[in-house]
Amino acid sequence: MDHTFRNKTITGVIWKAMESGGNQFVKLVISVVLARLLDPENYTTLALIQIFVIFAETLIKRGFATSLLQRKDADNIDFSSALWLMLSLSAVLYTVLYFAAPAISAYYKQPLIIPALRIVSLTLFSGAFNSVQGAIIQRKLEFRKFCMSTLATTVVSGSVALYLAYAGYGVWALVAQQMINSFLNVLILWLLDRWKPVLVFSIWRTKELFSFGWKILISSLMDTGYNSLSSLVIGKRYIGDSLAFYNRGKTYPDLMATNLTSVALAVLFPAYAQHQDNPIRVREMVRKTNRSTALMIFPMMAGLAAIATPFVRVLLTEKWLPSVPFLQLMCIVSALYPLEATDLQAMNALGRSDLYLKTEIIKKVFGLGVLAVSVLAFTTPLAVAWAVMLTAVFSMFVTMVVMKRLFDYRWRDQIWDLLPPVLLSAIMWGVVYGISLIPMPELPSLILQVVCGIAVYLGLAVLLKLESFSYLWKAMKSYFSRKRKEQEQPRDPDDVCGPGDAI
């Protein structure tokens, strides 16, 4: 049984990685072209809108989505009750944002905020439905459906946005992209899974879900509030398009880190929850995850920081060069985020949402203090990025302390798990930086830096026989070997399960 579940988990990881990898590539291409077509001012408007919408989405979805995953015996009554409650909350919060739009617009002196916020806020309803759909599919580890829906929505919404941007519609190209992505994703997932809610609302089931989820909800609200606060401060305190440059600097590290984290959290949280009565087993799963995650995320972030200037100049043009220092600092933040998120999911899987909440309070108190100092003592928006980076380092330290106490995950083991990728990434960074000193045209230099960086890192990983690299390689070989065997065998046409269920 454990072997079957392990195979199913690995298959889920691979499908989720294919979804995130393909989606990340498509998003990268679309975002680069949009950034070339649109002015930073358009992104400033959208960034301010997203602050309020994302906070509302967190309030609606975060606690219940995790509770539906953590609950072992969740059924359609749980899913339906959660959906009706989230849709009701969506209606309330949409009304609040609708009438608050003029005040927000006046405060930031952005007239377009009024119609744009009222339109984008409609995604609260589709987001509520999607969070329940996502929980159902994650529980079954049927990540092929996520792969299909995510890629399709990204391509369609991105294509529409590119057309509108080229036609001169400005911020409305970005608004259309948000709307189409959200509602089309719900439709495609429903066509693939056909989940139907029932007209039942159980107060008792909702209370049970909320008893676990409220601590995660509060933690998520603090995290979202802190992240939003840095953007709100930059948008109001600093002149020009500082918020656009700050957000652009975050975009590409976030794109890589968030997609990688979604692979781990989407697949591994159900896996952790299956072993929630065995902390030692969960600890070993966390160690393998951290080693594998560090092997991937550290070179990505080190490489991106090394090529930041030519990357921005070649792909985004000179108008986005002020985003380079933000991008480099955010690479540090994004390198730590997937590791911290994996550790926190292990706490939640064991039902320790109380501990999750306590750690978040400690981190955010520190973060608010550092942010206040950066705003009061410095006149540059780059100080806010430094505050975010220092908070990320402190947060990782706090999480490591909790992991030692909760899982007996010793300090030396945590450091040792991360040390090999750190050293290899440092060597790779040195090679990439050295190539940048060779006089040559910028585009060939950028391509050479990327190719040599990848070659050096993978070559050293193979030469030193890193355990995490071998584990990932064997998992990939095992997956494709099983797929070949499945293709050689006749398949029942009535079998519509995902690849994870075919094992």
% of residues, the chain, pLDDT over 70: 82
Domain extents for the chain? 38-237, 239-485
14 vs 63 pLDDT, higher one: 63
CA atoms within 13 A on the CB side of 36: 14
Of the chain, the percentage scoring pLDDT greater than 90 comes to 33
Task: Please report which confidence band the pLDDT of residue 138 belongs to, taking 50, 70 and 90 as the band edges.
Answer: confident
Which string of DSSP letters, residue by residue, matches 324-365?
Answer: HHHHHHHHHHHHHHHHHHHHHHHHHHTT-HHHHHHHHHHHHH
Angle at 49 between CA 44 and CA 54, to 5 degrees: 125
How many CA within 13 A on the CB side of residue 336? Answer: 18
139-192 per-position pLDDT tens digit: 776 767 777 788 889 999 999 999 999 999 999 999 999 999 999 999 998 888
CA 373 vs. chain centroid, Å, equals 28
Q: How confident is the model at residue 491 (pLDDT cuts 50, 70, 90)?
A: very low
**Structure-block tokens of residue 455:** 């070659």
pLDDT at 386: 94
- Please spell the DSSP secondary structure of 401-419, one letter per residue: HHHHHHH---HHHHHHHHH
Provide mean pLDDT across the span 82-86. 89
Where does the pLDDT of residue 495 fall: very low under 50, low under 70, confident under 90, or very high at 90 and above?
A: very low
What CA–CA distance (Å, rounded) separates 17 from 268?
12
Query: The tokens of 328 are what?
Result: 């480099």
pLDDT of residue 502: 29
pLDDT attached to residue 466 = 78
pLDDT at 31: 87
* 42 contacts 319 by C-beta, under 8 angstroms: no
Whether 503 shows a pLDDT value over 50: the answer reads no
Is pLDDT of 272 > 50? yes
pLDDT digits (tens, 9 = 90+) for 354-388: 787 788 889 989 999 999 999 888 888 899 999 99
- For residue 222 the two structure tokens come to 């603090």
**What pLDDT is stored for residue 496 in this prediction?**
35
262-292 burial, b for 16+ CB within 10 Å, e for fewer?
bbbbbbbbbbbbbbbeebeebbebbbbbbbb
Alpha-carbon torsion, ordered 349, 351, 354, 359, to 10 deg: -20
pLDDT score at 260: 66
The pLDDT value given to residue 120? 95
Is-above-0.75 flag for pTM?
Answer: no
Q: What is the mean pLDDT of the chain?
A: 82
pLDDT band at 476 (very low <50, low <70, confident <90, very high): low
Residue 3, judged by CB atoms within 10 A of its CB (0-12, 13-18, 19+), counts as: exposed
Give per-residue pLDDT as tens, 220-269. 778 788 778 888 888 777 766 788 899 899 888 988 787 666 655 555 54
Give the model confidence (pLDDT) of 297-348 as tens digits: 899 999 999 999 999 999 888 999 999 999 999 999 999 988 888 887 777 7
* Structural contact between residues 263 and 24, judged by C-beta atoms closer than 8 angstroms: no
Residue 493 pLDDT exceeds 60: no
Q: Show Cβ contacts of residue 482 under 8 Å, excluding neighbours closer than 6 positions.
A: 7, 11, 503
Write out the E strands in 220-360: none
Residues in the chain: 503
